[in-house]
Chain A
Amino acid sequence: MTTAAATGTPQSRGSSQPRRTAPPRGAAQSRADGWSRRLPLLPAFVFVVICTQIPFLLTIWYSLRSRNLLRPEGEEFVGLQNFLDIFRDSTFRGAALNSILITLACVAVALLLGLGLALLLDRKFLGRGIVRTLLITPFLIMPVAGAMLWSISMFDPTYGLVNWLISLVGVGPVDWTSQLPVFSIVVALVWQWTPFMMLLLLAGLQSQTGDVLEAASMDGASPWQTFRHITLPHLRFYIELSVLLGAIYVVNTFDQIYLMTAGGPGTASANLPFYIYQRAFLGFDIGQSAAMGVVTVVATIIISTLALRLIFRSINAKEQS
């Protein structure tokens, strides 16, 4: 018990419950110790709380009131009326569906492509560094620039590069962003996020120790067997991580939708962030957009808490290994 002063030793680091049982006579001292530990954390903690939690509490407050900047009669407390309204709003349901669809499609395709590319890059060949550099570029391009690049240079019906390419094989011109708006957005998103997946998975592949693979090949395992039974289990942590992080970013996609389709035609390609934005800043319906925000947050929290617990376990397991 007298070793409580041994703070900062490796044993106490990283463990969830640093052992700091206070000596009976030094309660004040241990409280002082606790505060001296907390002090460096506080500025960042308070900053994040102020910037994220207080606005969110206000969002909840708004969501319970009727407030529309276009209607001058003022606002009043309406209870859950806004929530009932938005669930009756078929556009809201459509936007929610689009959010799920776009996120799932983008994450799944980017993950598979990223895995394939990571496997390709996990071997020596001439100019590997250059190929890797080429591949990560889409992720580094400013999303606004990427969105316009896709909607105009690539997908424009008259002079877009994609229509020219498919015309070479005799497929007629397609007005991509009007006829296939969700598909067009997913293409632009996959293009942007595949490098992200690839980088994380490649790091995973390269952290594999060579001797295991060598032993497998000595034992006569086929490349597929090696991949299936050794590489894939090893990659599990990296796959979980890239799916979780990728999904966090993709579910909040706004830039591409705003610039490529503006949620259209109609509201065909609006996702939740875009629709909420529309209702708030173009429809001035603060109460309903706040209610949608609350619903989105609750849904995100439910889904992500499950995912986060999973990934947290993996990270901890990895740190302790």
Chain B
Amino acid sequence: MSTVADASPAPSPRPSPAGSAATRTSAPDAPAIRPKRARGTTTGHLLGILAWIVGLIFFAPVAWMVLTSFKQESQAASNPPTFLFTPTLDQYKAVLASGAGSYLLNSVIATACSTLLVLVLAIPAAYALSIRPVKKTQDVLFFFISTKMLPVVAVIMPIYVIAGQLRMLDNLLTLIVLYTAMNLPIAVWMMRSFFLEVPGEVLEAASIDGASLMRTMRTVLLPMVAPGVAATALICVIFAWNEFFFALNLTAANAATVPIYLMSTMTSEGLFLARLSAASVIASLPVVLAGWIAQKQLVRGLSMGAVK
């Protein structure tokens, strides 16, 4: 069924001056601009406008959240909604003064450490599943992905009990280990897909030179898959930063992360909508910015490397 000829050595559509497909212009997204073009541009304009409208509808809740975060509480919870107001930074100041800092720090530590650990474990594993493959490569890949199907809730109780016996409840290390396990299968799949793109000649040349495995890895392979490492890290950061379930059940005062802080602003102090919105903006901002900047890597990461 897939008659696609896009498995050429340069699969990423953007920088492909390879000229393999003659019709493909340098602008990657204009593959033989739709047949509609022949029928005048009115439909085209309308469809463009439609895309804008839908895009704005999807974005509207986010825009509303940002808007609310600059309001006073009385303006935030008004009926009819307040659209015109003098923006204030009071809510952001209140959030930062209320001790959000320690939660942010916990999130940063858990996210950064788990992502690093994932990369350290996943890169060699992906190597052993692509460039110098073990015998049962397919089975191992299948095993990794099947663990993602395991509902987390089915293992939370034993994890809670084990962590309790090891005196690791409310400990960042527990979150780091679990986030690593959570992201590792995705990372292995992703890194494998990047390794598979390394041309065989490069590796052959390195092995003829008699370079050791570690040296080949460091000097030849890693530079070539560096964009892949970045994409993998991005995905791990997104999932770890946003994780809520483990944090809810396994942390308390010491190791709680940003999602827990968000929840506590809602439940413990009644409803301060403007302040909650400001906290939500702060909590979401790192991942939103990262995702905006790295949209292409995002696609590849979300599909675990299967979509380029």
Q: Which residues of A come within 8 Å of B, CB atoms? A: 7-10, 12-18, 20, 34, 37-41, 43-45, 47-48, 51-52, 54-56, 58-59, 62, 117, 120-128, 130-146, 148-150, 152-154, 156, 158-159, 161, 164, 191, 194-196, 199-200, 202-204, 206-211, 213-214, 216-217, 221, 223, 226, 233-234, 236-238, 241-242, 245, 248, 251-252, 254-255, 258-259, 272-273, 276-277, 280-281, 286, 289-290, 293-294, 296-297, 300-301, 304-305, 308, 312, 314-315, 317-319, 321
Contacts and interface: CB of A to CB of B under 8 A. Distances in A.
B303 A58 contact: no
Contacts of B299: 199-200, 202-203
B162 interface: yes
Nearest to A247: B149
B47 A40 contact: no
Given A125-B47, A208-B31, 9 more contacts: A142-B262, A148-B262, A153-B68, A194-B58, A210-B30, A210-B31, A248-B149, A280-B157, A297-B154
A113 B137 CA distance: 36
7 contacts: A37-B128, A135-B59, A142-B241, A143-B244, A206-B29, A308-B149, A319-B196
A62 B244 contact: no
Interface string B139-173: 01011111111111111111101100000000000
Interface string B45-63: 1011011101110110110
A137 B177 contact: no
Most buried by A among B78, B244, B277: B244
Q: Which 10 A-B pairs have the closest CB atoms?
A: A210-B32, A125-B48, A10-B200, A293-B154, A40-B124, A217-B35, A210-B31, A51-B181, A58-B158, A44-B125
Contacts of B62: 137-138, 141, 149
B151 A300 contact: yes
Contacts of B155: 52, 55-56, 58-59, 293
A203 B124 CA distance: 28
A122 B29 contact: yes
B77 interface: yes
B273 interface: yes
A237 B2 contact: yes
A300 B184 contact: no
Interface of B: 1-7, 13, 21-24, 28-36, 38, 44-45, 47-48, 50-52, 54-56, 58-59, 61-62, 64-65, 68, 77-81, 121-122, 124-125, 127-135, 137-138, 140, 142-159, 161-162, 177-178, 180-181, 184-185, 188, 196, 199-200, 203-204, 207, 238, 241-242, 244-245, 248-249, 258-259, 262-263, 266, 271, 273, 276-277, 280, 283-284, 287-288, 290-292, 295, 298-299, 302-304, 306-308
Contact of B44 (A123, A211, A217): A123
A225 to B, nearest CB: 10
Given A55-B159, A207-B13, A255-B245, A8 B132 contact: yes
Most buried by B among A134, A216, A237, A312: A134
Contacts of B302: 196, 199-200, 245
A38 B34 contact: no
A120 B29 CA distance: 12
Contacts of A48: 143-144, 147, 181, 184-185
Judged by DSSP, the binding face of B is helix
Nearest to A290: B157
A14 to B, nearest CB: 6
Contacts of B44: 123, 125
B244 A148 contact: no
Given A41-B140, A44-B188, A134-B59, A211 B204 contact: no
A55 B271 CA distance: 38
Contacts of B121: 43-44, 47
A144 B287 CA distance: 13
A296 B154 contact: yes
A201 to B, nearest CB: 9
A195 B32 contact: no
Given A34-B135, A203-B307, A144 B79 contact: no
A305 B47 CA distance: 40
B197 to A, nearest CB: 11
Contacts of A141: 62, 280, 284, 287-288
B4 A164 contact: no
A273 B152 contact: yes
Nearest to B65: A149
A289 B7 contact: no
B151 A259 contact: no
A145 B162 contact: no
A52 B147 contact: yes
B153 A144 contact: no
A145 B69 CA distance: 13
B34 to A, nearest CB: 6
B133 A126 contact: no
B259 A153 contact: no
B32 A211 contact: yes
Contact of B4 (A37, A145, A153, A207): A207
Contacts of B204: 8-9
A40 B161 contact: no
Contacts of A242: 303
A137 B288 CA distance: 7
A2 to B, nearest CB: 16
A237 B50 CA distance: 27
Contacts of B78: 159
A110 to B, nearest CB: 12
